[in-house]
Amino acid sequence: MSASESKPSGAADSRWPRSVYGVGDEPDPRFTFANERTFLAWIRTGLALLAGGAAVDALDLPMSDVLQTTLAAILVLLGLLCAVASWLRWARAERAMRTGAPLPSMGLAMPVVVGILLIGLILIVASVV
């Protein structure tokens, strides 16, 4: 089998990013689609955090302006972190499936969960005080 026949229809050579699609063998499409769904779920989470940051900044909440702006900035930063980390995780998972390597861990989940919990607690305490 020649090199051009090892990849289905030569599509792997023309797709971007080459660092992902240019290595290994084409995985089962179901796994690729599952990886894309996970990527999109993290993108939705990032968008929700960005919207939450905008809402916290726009509303007149019963807390100091400094605290409100800080919470809004943290939410926006968490949203941006989700977007960037979801892309990196998608690429690592796709590369791992193509090369037969172990799948990457969910390193992003814990910082996001802790950040959301802290912001929720601060909002609760600020609304009670």
The region that residue 79 occupies, defined by phi over 0 for left and psi between -120 and 50 for alpha, beta otherwise, is alpha
- Predicted structure pTM score: 0.78
Q: Is residue 84 part of a domain?
A: yes
Q: Is residue 93 part of a domain?
A: yes
Q: Is residue 67 part of a domain?
A: yes
How far apart are the C-alpha atoms of 75 and 40, rounded to whole Å? 19
Q: Is residue 6 part of a domain?
A: no
Domains of the chain: total: 1
Q: What is the pLDDT of residues 78-95, one digit of tens each?
A: 999 999 999 999 999 999
Host H or E run for residue 126:
helix 109-128
Q: What is the pLDDT of residues 25-42, one digit of tens each?
A: 889 999 999 999 999 999
Q: Is residue 62 part of a domain?
A: yes
108 and 82 Cβ atoms separated by less than 8 Å: yes
Q: Is residue 118 part of a domain?
A: yes
